[in-house]
Amino acid sequence: MLLLEKRPVDSTLMRWASPVLALVLTVITGFVLFLAMGKDPVDGLKFFFITPISDLIGLAELGLKMAPLLLCAAGLTVCYRAKLWNIGAEGHFLIGALGASVMAVQLVDHSGFWVLPVVLLAGVLGAMVWAAIAAGLKTHLHCNEILTTIMLNYIALNLLLYVVHGPLKDPYGFGFPQSVMFSDSALLPALIPGTRLHLGLAFGLLAAVAVWVLFARSFIGFQLNVVGQDHRAAAFAGFGARRLTWFAFLIAGATAGLAGASEVTGPIGQLVPQVSPGYGYTAIIVVFLGRMHAVGIVAASALLALTFIGGEMLQIAMNMPKAVTGLFQGLLLFYLLTCDAFIHYRVRLKPSAHQSTKAAVTAAHGEA
């Protein structure tokens, strides 16, 4: 009989093998799924994982989707290291997009190098305020941050819909709920000319570096780790849990807000209702898959960016529902958590009662 047994020390190998194992299991499940749907599984997996990134344009699109995921994930990493379960990246992202759009529409007749920084800053500050609400509710009113951040996500979405259907709606937009196009000075410059890839990816990579520095080299990163691992030890050491909570939430708000601001000033160029295909939620998977580590989240954000464009590719090439993206993401997280159990536990073969008796009998005979 199989038995789960606690390892004396957590397995470092398993800690890093688990994401790979989860990906393999997801691909196998995908293979079976394609077969069950009567589609060619090899073709399907090729369209999902390889075709989207087989040329420069495709790679640029990957970077384009990576940027918001990486930015959101960087902020969430800071929260999750301290075991603050902030699910609000989606809301921070939407408010970031909203704040930047409001500013960009105000400045639509201006030009100059200062316009873009002001627009981005508006988004970042807006999202930080949004994150501060959840932080304040947690530190001063003891509300569970999971529930408040989720509710704030829904409120942010409705706020964005209100603004795009109301105050910011382009009067000459043929009735479409969208803002006017931003001026060129409010748009992020392209990273690779001729593609849609913009400066947002650089922001994301910088954020990942900042996360690395924070946790590898700074005292506040150390404090966050301690709070996450042992709340009581942190209290004895005099690390202010409130202060750290505020810090983590504000960072998460700033990075996700920058992601939202970069999205409207980058590939979209105006405010539309469907700014986010769920980047803020997917970023949660990125953080877990990336082991809450700077290098890990870069790799994980690339993989999850691929699920977005792979899903679109399957829709076009094989007429499959676009929801395949969400399914892959869900499966991946699911397998990951299952594999993660084996970081702390190992499987041992427990000899059945019958076998052990037999062994004992043989041993007794040997002695005799």
Q: Which of 53, 102, 105, 152 binds another protein (CB under 8 A)?
A: 152
147 or 316: CB nearest another protein? 147
Beta bridge partners of 298: none
Q: Which residues contact 336 (CB under 8 A, 6 or more apart)?
A: 18, 19, 22, 285, 288, 289
Q: Which of 54, 106, 338, 355 binds another protein (CB under 8 A)?
A: 338
270 or 325: CB nearest another protein? 325
Q: Which of 31, 85, 222, 246 binds another protein (CB under 8 A)?
A: 85
Could you say whether residue 333 binds another protein (CB under 8 A)? yes
Could you say whether residue 334 binds another protein (CB under 8 A)? yes
Reading the block at residue 27, the tokens are 């691909």
What element of type H or E holds 349? Answer: strand 345-349
Closest to 203 (Cα-Cα) out of 284, 265, 278: 265
Q: Which of 161, 209, 295, 360 binds another protein (CB under 8 A)?
A: 161
Could you say whether residue 328 binds another protein (CB under 8 A)? yes
195 or 315: CB nearest another protein? 315
Q: Are 48 and 314 in contact (CB under 8 A)?
A: yes
Segment lying near another protein (by CB under 8 A), choices 69-77, 106-114, 120-128, 315-323: 315-323
List C-alpha distances in Å: 98 to 66, 101, 164, 307.
20, 5, 9, 26
Q: Which of 45, 151, 192, 241 binds another protein (CB under 8 A)?
A: 151
Q: How far is the CB of 240 from another protein (least distance, A)?
A: 17
Q: Are 21 and 28 in contact (CB under 8 A)?
A: no
265 or 282: CB nearest another protein? 282
Enumerate residues 257-296 that contact another protein by CB under 8 A: 281, 284-285, 288
**Within a 13 Å sphere around the CA of 348, how many CA atoms are in the beta-carbon half?**
9
Q: Which of 2, 142, 219, 349 binds another protein (CB under 8 A)?
A: 142
Query: What single DSSP character describes residue 189?
Result: P
The residue type at 206: L
CA distance 244 to 247: 5
82 or 116: CB nearest another protein? 82
Could you say whether residue 148 binds another protein (CB under 8 A)? yes
247 or 328: CB nearest another protein? 328
In the three-class reduction of DSSP (H, G, I as helix; E, B as strand; rest coil), residue 170 is classed as coil
Would you call 356 exposed, middle or buried from its count of C-beta atoms within 10 A (0-12, 13-18, 19+)?
exposed
Q: How far is the CB of 110 from another protein (least distance, A)?
A: 29
In 165-305, beta strands by DSSP E: none
CA distance 119 to 79: 26
Number of residues that make up the chain: 368
Could you say whether residue 154 binds another protein (CB under 8 A)? yes
Residues found near another protein in the complex (CB under 8 A)? 4, 6, 85, 87, 137, 141-144, 146-148, 150-152, 154-155, 158-159, 161-162, 165-166, 281, 284-285, 288, 321-331, 333-334, 336-338, 340-341, 344-345
